[in-house]
């Protein structure tokens, strides 16, 4: 049975994929459905949802279209989540591969640096980094990656330690391959599957961290973010709770979707590797 | 002049506070175009010697002279360059290749690393190498796990001869193959030796195969040389206890003896 068929037989994985597809559709269609600036005033302030069909989810305290902000927020969440996870996985697997393959002093130094990063809570690190350097999308991505690369680094190192004893690594040395070429061409690609298996958790965590930073006012101020929307709505939580509830639900569904779809992919590919 | 001279080679391992000599003061030499077999039971140090000679592990004492140079003195780029002349074929051809690679990539690596052929010329060289070891050239794009064990060992030999070495270490290179394929691979090795004058360091526990391919044999026991000499003489009339035990353990030999 093909991996795709196995994936489709898992209802939770399919649900996750549908949620994720909806998120991607929102992110991609935002500039077409809402060509203007999502942060521009679109109508009367604090319009409740389902009253005016040109503004289906109503407006916030400043009269901004909540639905438009929600769509543009999906772009931010997805971009930051994927970019931060990709950066964390890339840094982690390179550091882990170098540490595991080189051994000795290099391993010792790299792993103590990893320890140092791991002792500081990831969110605190991101918070400190953004407040020092200043909020912008790229900085938020780096800040989140700084706190999450240690996990992939440890997994990659453990995998590399077992792979470097294999015969094909000895074979590559015998034909005179450079140690760096052996590490990155022969060892790293074979160490990746368990590292990539962590990506769904990392993407979900990165989306939540981005929302938390935005909630604290440390997101990119020029972009609509779900965390920023929740923070906005907090001031009028008693009179207009929908302003916080709507982006909150979007955030929960997104994290759930990423996690379920990611787990589904990991499980189906793990079965395939087990069989071969 | 000797191609390879190994003198007083020693490798010790510490295990639980005790020091065990896996290879203990071993000396031997190989002449150009000659096959020297290292035979002995498991744990006698055969594979350790192979890995020491290839500089995959470092010895605790001893000298290795290869093509008139001190092989142990080389390091870094000089060592990598020198490796072109000293190649290896492993026992399990599936474990010896990156599971993601294709036949073409495996043969491309040595040609690229040692600058033997320009990029544009390499596909032709790869096809020629495949033909040289008796494989079809259209095998090149196949993944390494898609071809049979015998074909894989032929690819391993093609990879080893790509850099035109003077010595190939064969570590149990035919032990994992079934009997009919084993015969064909041994034929190929003998043919290559006749044409290219490649010397072999042939490591095996199977004295039948050793008798068929080796000129001289060194019998090892617990890291020391138990007996050495002309392959047929030693195997037909072993003097050492371990030699007698190994010959007795190979019933085919007893049957074929007149």
CB contact under 8 A, A170 and B80: no
- Enumerate the residues of chain B whose CB falls inside 8 A of the CB of residue A175: 83-84, 87, 109-110, 113, 159, 163
The burial class, CB within 10 Å (0-12 / 13-18 / 19+), for B246 is: buried
- Domain with residues A3-275, CATH architecture: Orthogonal Bundle (1.10)
Q: How many Å apart are CA B80 and CA B35, to the nearest integer?
A: 24
CB contact under 8 A, B163 and A175: yes
The answer to whether residue A273 scores a pLDDT higher than 70 is: no
The answer to whether residue A244 scores a pLDDT higher than 90 is: yes
CB contact under 8 A, A166 and B87: no
Torsion over CA: B67, B70, B71, B75 (sign)? negative
The answer to whether residue B258 scores a pLDDT higher than 50 is: no
pLDDT of residue A144: 95
ipTM: 0.89
pLDDT of residue A276: 40
| Percent of chain A residues topping a pLDDT of 70 | 97
Task: Return the axis-axis angle of helices A66-102 and A199-215, rounded to nearest 10°.
Answer: 130
Average pLDDT over residues B113-138: 94
Average pLDDT over residues B18-37: 93
Contacts of A54 by beta carbon, 8 Å cutoff, 6+ apart: A43
CB contact under 8 A, B87 and A176: no
pLDDT per residue as tens digits for the range B56-87: 999 999 999 999 999 999 999 999 999 999 99
The answer to whether residue A188 scores a pLDDT higher than 50 is: yes
pTM: 0.84
Cα nearest neighbour of B94 on chain A = A168
Name the residue among B54, B87, B96 with its Cβ closest to that of A168: B96
Q: How many Å apart are CA A173 and CA B110, to the nearest integer?
A: 11
pLDDT of residue A274: 47
pLDDT per residue as tens digits for the range B197-246: 999 999 998 888 999 899 999 999 989 999 999 999 998 889 998 888 88
Q: How many contacts (CB atoms, under 8 Å) link A and B?
A: 57
Contact at 8 Å (CB) between B189 and B199?
no
Q: How many Å apart are CA B17 and CA B4, to the nearest integer?
A: 34
Q: What's the mean pLDDT when you consider all of chain B?
A: 91
Helix, coil or strand: residue B22: strand
Residue of A168, A193, A275 to mutate when probing chain B, most B C-beta within 10 A: A168
Q: How confident is the model at residue A4 (pLDDT cuts 50, 70, 90)?
A: confident
Contact at 8 Å (CB) between A31 and A271?
no
- Enumerate the residues of chain B whose CB falls inside 8 A of the CB of residue A171: 88, 90, 96-97, 159
The answer to whether residue A5 scores a pLDDT higher than 90 is: no
The answer to whether residue A240 scores a pLDDT higher than 70 is: yes
Q: How confident is the model at residue A275 (pLDDT cuts 50, 70, 90)?
A: very low
CATH of B28-58+73-256, one of 2.160.10.10, 3.40.50.460, 3.40.50.300, 3.20.20.300: 3.40.50.300
Contact at 8 Å (CB) between B208 and B182?
no
Cα nearest neighbour of B164 on chain A = A175
């Amino acid at each position: 049975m093909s991996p795709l068929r196995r994936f489709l037989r898992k209802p939770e994985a399919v649900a996750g994929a549908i949620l994720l597809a909806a998120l991607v559709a929102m992110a991609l269609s935002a500039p077409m459905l809402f060509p203007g600036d999502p942060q521009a005033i679109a109508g009367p302030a604090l319009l409740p949802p389902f009253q005016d069909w040109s503004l289906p989810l109503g407006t916030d305290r400043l009269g901004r279209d909540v639905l438009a902000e929600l769509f543009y927020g999906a772009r931010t969440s997805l971009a930051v989540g994927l970019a931060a996870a990709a950066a964390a996985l890339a840094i982690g697997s390179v550091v882990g591969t170098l540490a595991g393959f080189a051994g000795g002093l290099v391993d010792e130094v790299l792993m103590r640096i990893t320890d140092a990063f791991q002792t500081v809570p990831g969110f605190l690190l991101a918070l400190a980094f953004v407040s020092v350097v200043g909020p912008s999308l790229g900085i938020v991505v780096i800040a989140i990656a700084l706190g999450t690369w240690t996990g992939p680094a440890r997994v990659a190192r453990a995998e590399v330690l077992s792979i470097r004893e294999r015969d094909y690594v000895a074979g590559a040395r015998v034909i005179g391959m450079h140690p760096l070429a052996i590490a990155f061409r022969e060892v790293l690609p074979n160490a990746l599957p368990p590292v990539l298996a962590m990506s769904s958790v990392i993407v979900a965590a990165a989306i939540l961290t981005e929302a938390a930073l935005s909630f604290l006012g440390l997101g990119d101020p020029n972009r609509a973010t779900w965390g920023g929307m929740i923070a906005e709505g907090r001031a009028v939580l008693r009179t207009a709770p929908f302003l916080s509830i709507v982006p909150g639900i979007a955030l929960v569904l997104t994290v759930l979707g990423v996690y379920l779809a990611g787990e589904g992919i990991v499980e189906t590919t793990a079965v395939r590797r087990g069989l071969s | 002049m000797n191609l390879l001279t190994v003198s007083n080679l020693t490798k010790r391992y510490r295990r639980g506070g005790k020091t065990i000599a896996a290879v203990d003061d071993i000396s031997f030499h190989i002449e150009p175009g000659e096959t020297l077999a290292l035979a002995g039971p498991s744990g006698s140090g055969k594979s350790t010697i192979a890995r020491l000679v290839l500089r995959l592990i470092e010895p605790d004492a001893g000298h290795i002279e290869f093509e008139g140079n001190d092989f142990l003195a080389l390091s870094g780029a000089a060592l990598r360059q020198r490796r072109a002349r000293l190649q290896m074929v492993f026992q399990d051809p599936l474990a010896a290749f990156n599971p993601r690679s294709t036949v073409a990539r495996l043969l491309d690596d040595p040609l690229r690393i040692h600058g033997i052929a320009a990029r544009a010329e390499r596909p032709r060289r790869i096809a020629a190498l495949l033909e040289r070891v008796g494989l079809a050239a259209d095998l090149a794009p196949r993944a390494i796990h898609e071809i049979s064990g015998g074909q894989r060992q032929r690819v391993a030999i093609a990879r080893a001869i790509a850099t035109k070495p003077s010595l190939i270490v064969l570590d149990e290179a035919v032990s994992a193959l079934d009997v009919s394929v084993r015969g064909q691979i041994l034929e190929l090795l003998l043919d290559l030796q006749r044409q290219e004058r490649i010397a072999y360091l042939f490591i095996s526990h199977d004295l039948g195969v050793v008798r068929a391919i080796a000129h001289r044999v060194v019998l090892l026991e617990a890291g020391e040389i138990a007996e050495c000499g002309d392959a047929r003489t030693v195997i037909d009339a072993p003097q050492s206890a371990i030699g007698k035990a190994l010959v007795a353990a190979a019933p085919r030999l007893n049957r074929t003896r007149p």
